Amino acid sequence: MGRGILYAFWFTPCQFRNSRAYAEAEWRTVPRYNCSQLRYVRFGFENMEKHLPPRSLSHDIFLDVPPTEVWSLITQPGHLEKVHPYCKSNEVLKWDLDGCKDILLYSNGRRFVRRIEPWIEGIGYNLWIGEEGGPQSYVEWRIEPTNNGYCYLRIRIYPYLLSRWPSLLAALPFKFWVHRRLMNYLKAVLSGIKFHLKTGNSVPRDQPNSHPWFSA
């Protein structure tokens, strides 16, 4: 483990971005979070913050529709097939007030399971996402109403990648590899939601740009 960290320290940012072997190694070594035990402290749950991956990023988008319309969309079973540009299918395993579980099959065949905590009605929800039995990233979806009757939709993600690295060693690869690609991902998903709310159509697949982690 020590030798691996020392070796990775000498990687250039370019090598981090293009190292599939590194990504697979990191995928296997991040600790498994027990989703049945972890809850988010701001909504009355205990001991959540200390279990979250240490770094996060977020993006939001203005939507010129009422918050209730956004809420109705993002709580529909299988809604990712309408709004997610890298989603090939969105199979629902469970969908009720006690929590939801579905499968996000990406365009390139990668299969993630989403475990959604009980909703905060009209506001948002928190979820864990990752391969079944593998490390999980934590994601928050939030609707933020505006004074003119519209709203912003914000997504914040705590990615599992590099979560076991010391902060100084993780800073550059997170900035130039993880952050850049996940930010492009968040922008694409939020733009897909805006597109669907405006047109009523499903978002085109892998548009406007493909993604190196999820596109076919």
Residue 85 lies in a domain: yes
Average pLDDT over residues 47-58: 69
Average pLDDT over residues 209-216: 92
Q: Tell me which residue has tokens 């009720």.
A: 96
pLDDT of amino acid 111: 98
pLDDT in tens, 66-106: 999 999 999 999 999 999 999 999 999 999 878 899 999 99
* pLDDT band, residue 164 (cuts 50/70/90): low
Residue 75 lies in a domain: yes
Residue 167 lies in a domain: yes
- What's the structural domain count of the chain? 1
CB 23 within 8 A of CB 8: no
CB 103 within 8 A of CB 97: no
Residue 38 has pLDDT above 90, yes or no: no
pLDDT in tens, 6-17: 333 333 333 333
CB 24 within 8 A of CB 13: no
* pLDDT band, residue 47 (cuts 50/70/90): very low
Residue 119 lies in a domain: yes
Average pLDDT over residues 17-27: 34
**Closest Cα partner for 27 from 130, 170, 140, 173?**
130
Percentage of the chain with pLDDT > 70? Answer: 71
Q: Which of 28-37, 154-163, 171-180 has the lowest mean pLDDT?
A: 28-37
Collect all residues with Cβ–Cβ distance below 8 Å to 10 and sequence separation of at least 6: none
Stated pTM of the model: 0.75
Residue 137 lies in a domain: yes
Residue 216 lies in a domain: no
Range of the structural domain that residue 172 is part of: 12-199
The CATH number that applies at residue 85 is 3.30.530.20
Residue 119: Cβ within 10 Å count: 18
What single-letter amino acid sits at 51? H
Compute the distance between CA of residue 2 and CA of residue 39 in angstroms, rounded to an integer. 32
- 178, with CB counted inside 10 A (0-12, 13-18, 19+), is buried
Residue 20 lies in a domain: yes
Residue 129 lies in a domain: yes
pLDDT of amino acid 160: 79
Helix axes 67-74, 179-199, angle to 10 degrees: 110
Collect all residues with Cβ–Cβ distance below 8 Å to 198 and sequence separation of at least 6: none
Compute the distance between CA of residue 205 and CA of residue 188 in angstroms, rounded to an integer. 11
CB 53 within 8 A of CB 163: yes
Residue 127: Cβ within 10 Å count: 21
Collect all residues with Cβ–Cβ distance below 8 Å to 215 and sequence separation of at least 6: 86, 106, 107, 108, 206
